[in-house]
Structure 1
Amino acid sequence: MKIGDLQIDNPVFLAPMAGVSDYPYRQIIRDMGCQLLYTEMVSSKGIAYGNEKTEELVEYNKKDGFIAVQIFGEDPAFMARAAAHIQEKYAVNIIDINMGCPTNKIVKNGSGSALMKDLKKARSLIKAVVTAVDIPVTVKIRKGWDDRHINAVETAVLAEEMGVKAVAVHGRTREEFYSGKADWQIIKAVKEKVNIPVIGNGDIFQPEDAVKMIEETNCDAVMIARGVKGNPWLIKRAVHAIKTGELLDEPTDREIIEMALYHLKKSVDYYGEKRAIPLMRKHLSWYLKGRPYSSKIKEKLNYLKSYRSVKEVLQDYLMKLSN
């Protein structure tokens, strides 16, 4: 598939996830065959005001493949300014507009999925961003605000008219957050009405889910979010299943803990021990989920503060798995 002039051969993308899709984890996902990686969502005002922590979210290595920076905000001028700055300073491949985040913190200011309630504002915001850069602009949307306001198709058509080069659709309303089952038929409905690539999102937890979504909706690619938490192999397995129809084996318990140790080291190398250990707790909990006798390990890890101590606990656990 092509997004603007970008040729992307592997139709499985890493979704933008706050606190998850950071630089160390994006490198791991890249090594699993993901060609388009989305950053965590980035505040347009944070970029415009030169906030260092916000800028850090955008950092990447050009060897990492295609990178899309997702920005959020409600002010067209700030969004345009942020997009232009990101393109100029970081030479990224895509600017993505967040019109899907359902959290109160984001929507209370009119950002994220709140933009789907005000398509007039959304139109001016999208136009401002598209005009500000000369790289592809994409948008990520939801089914709608609630069951009484389902307007994903209308929003996607508007986005295409404004010059957007691809649209990602999550099959739930803002009101649903992540409850219930994603409605993949809304993805199909969007695909039938626009001529730009459509990326399906929602409830992909197994390679078979990715294959099924493409078959049922005719979407051009899938975007995985919660499914890759503690499971970066899902990217590789989904790509393989889509391309060959075959299923690769699931990772063993040993492989999962070895990956946890590798991820831990990458995070410590990037952030330093003091920042990395708290950030890694949720990741380690995801890696350990469902593993044999892991509840006590997770409890112990929550109190450890040094790289050495966390590493030793995981290595001891790895030895236990081997016996």
Structure 2
Amino acid sequence: MVKIDNIVLPDFPLLLAPMEDVSDPPFRVVCRENGADLMYTEFISSEGLVKDTEKCRRKLAIFDEERPVGVQIFGGDEDKLSMAARIVDMTQPDLLDINFGCPIKGIVAKGAGSGVLKDIDLMVRLTKACVNATNLPVTVKTRLGWDEDTKNIEEVAERLQDVGIKALAIHGRTRTQMYKGVADWELIAKVKNNPRIHIPIFGNGDIDSPQKALEYKHRYGVDGIMIGRAAIGYPWIFREVKHYIQTGELLPAPTLQERIDVCKRQLEKSVQWRGEGPGIFSMRKHYFSYLKGLPDFKGFRSRLVTPVESAAVVDVLDEIGRVYAGFEFEHKPIQLVNYHENCAL
């Protein structure tokens, strides 16, 4: 088993990465039900929490069936970050995570996310402020460094551990790489194999198949892996990885009915969380990802995003099940895209 303070996870846990405009509570529920071991919220602005904005308050929502779950916050000001940590503490998630990895320009320009990678002393102060402000276990997600000349993750890991974090997730790219190139897991392995490091180290980046997950488990020796882009429209990646690690066999690709059922489940939770109208609207971006591969799907795609009542959406999904009955999806590595390009940040 793997422990993050008092949180007990199975051997080699699979974590759902925090993704803006993707990893909301309804999506986290279907990932949990398909094998994910630990969830993270979309990242939340510390300034927004302190100002009590509606958008930030909404992101604090947690369904009981998705636990354990961590709330992820970001910011570049010690006072505001510590105040945000205290606010998060009151909502009672299972842990608090700090984002030092988001590479998008708007976040970096505020001196937050991976922008903090330019100033390791500041990163340490921000982390210590959070640890001192909350009773929750504090974890961090970050990158290897700002650029090729500042890959200082080994120093960062030691210093953040020294100020009290309970786990570290490392994306194997620098900020300047964004999502380009190949993730460097060799440096992640160096952090894990450092005899000074005793907290769990989770690797993140480019996991697009069960075969790669098992290969990286053996090659790099991390305590678990964090999966992000591969889970978009495909929460089954978690159960497939677990099954392959346990048996060495690939599960069949999810059937059309399984895909429809998960669409319905996520729609149900979206409506429960947001209300009928907003819940339906929020789901519209997901249908094509779930049903990608169906031939001549354009007509159904437009019909799925037209209804204003969830019952009507369910009727269209059921019709898709009848029209494409017997269709078999191919099983192949998941195409990883830069999800920031399609998200409202």
SS in 2 for 1:240: helix
**1:199-253 residue CA offsets vs partner (Å, 9 max, x unmatched):** 1111112122221221121000111101111111111222232344343222112
Shift, 1:306, TM fit: 4.0
Pairwise CA distance, 1:71: 0.4
Aligned equivalent of 1:39, options 41, 45, 69: 41
CA distance in 2, matches of 1:108, 1:23: 28
2:29 touches 2:65 (CA, 8 Å); kept in 1? no
Task: Give the corresponding residue for 1:252.
Answer: 255
- Give per-residue Cα distances to partners, 1:167-187, cap 9 Å, x unaligned: 001111111211222122121
Q: Any idea what SS the aligned residue of 2:324 has?
A: helix
Q: Distance in 1 between matches of 2:114 and 2:23?
A: 20
Q: Any residues of structure 2 matched to 1:1-323 within 5 Å, and which?
A: 1-9=2-10, 11-87=13-89, 89-193=90-194, 194-322=197-325
What is the TM-score when the length of structure 1 is the normalising length? 0.94
Shift of 1:303: 4.6
Give how far 1:297 is off: 2.6
Partner of 2:339: none
Distance 2:147 2:24 in 1: 30
Mapped to 2, the partners of 1:268 and 1:3 lie a distance apart of: 32
Q: Which amino acid aligns with 2:85?
A: A
- C-alpha displacement at 1:108, in angstroms? 0.6
SS of 1:322 mapped into structure 2:
coil
Q: In 2, distance between residues paired with 1:241 and 1:21?
A: 24
- Note if contact 1:199-1:219 (Cα within 8 Å) is conserved in structure 2: yes
Distance 1:126 1:74 in 2: 10
Q: Give unmatched runs, 5+ long, in structure 1.
A: none
- Structure 1 residue 111: deviation in Å? 0.4
Structure having greater relative contact order (Cα 8 Å, sep ≥ 6):
2
Per-residue deviation at 1:9?
Answer: 0.9
Cα distance, 1:188–1:48 mapped onto 2, change above 3 Å: same
CA distance in 1, matches of 2:233, 2:207: 14
| Percent pairwise identity | 39
Q: Contact (CA 8 Å) 1:288, 1:298: kept in 2 or not? A: no
Give the unaligned 5+ runs of structure 2: 327-345
Q: CA deviation at 1:15?
A: 0.8
1:98–1:112 Cα contact (<8 Å) kept: yes
Distance 2:312 2:64 in 1: 33
Q: TM-score, normalised by structure 2?
A: 0.88
**What SS class does the counterpart of residue 138 from structure 1 fall into?**
strand
